Amino acid sequence: MNIIAAVDRNWAIGKNGRLLVSIPADKQMFREETVGKVVIMGRKTLESLPGGQPLHKRTNLVLSRNPRFSLKGAVVCRSVEEVLEKVRDVPPEDVFVMGGADIYREFLPYCDTAHITYIDYSYHADTYMRNLDRDPEWRMDLESDEFTYFNLCYTFRRYVRIS
């Protein structure tokens, strides 16, 4: 499975339930990587999407422990084990964990690749994911050239699990 995220220098991913910044090239990369595939997210991440609706042209698996939560166009799962059962027959390269922080933490042990948009800036944030640069189980194996969006510099990175 894959992780896909945009992080700042401190591996922050959000504040007040929102992304830190919206970079068009990051959105384009996300679309290109995930269309036609399975995306896994938490309920709060789903609610942060435009209109609070599932992403088009993808199988949306939403983890929510609220037994009354349901949503047309998404498969609602109540546990990590249930999500893993749903993706059991899907090629791992076609499954993308897209947040939020709790979902990243719960699914990281099952992932072997991370697609990270690394933004060279430190935001005021309240939500973080594990810093893969400091995790001995992960190494960066690919980094793009540096791009800019207004005054922000960013790169696209790919990390792979070593062990």
pLDDT in tens, 36-72: 999 999 999 999 998 999 999 999 999 999 999 999 9
Residue 74 above 90 pLDDT?
Answer: yes
Residue in this structure with the two tokens 């005021």, named with its chain if needed: 124
- Residue 68, helix vs strand vs coil: coil
Q: What is the mean pLDDT of residues 8-16?
A: 97
pLDDT in tens, 92-149: 999 999 999 999 999 999 999 999 999 999 999 999 999 999 999 999 999 999 999 9
Give the domain extent around 96: 2-161
Q: What is the mean pLDDT of the chain?
A: 97
- Whole-number pLDDT of residue 59: 98
pLDDT in tens, 23-46: 999 999 999 999 999 999 999 999
144 vs 146: CA distance, rounded Å: 6
- Whole-number pLDDT of residue 163: 72
Count the domains in the chain.
1
- Whole-number pLDDT of residue 132: 98
Domain harbouring 21, CATH code:
3.40.430.10
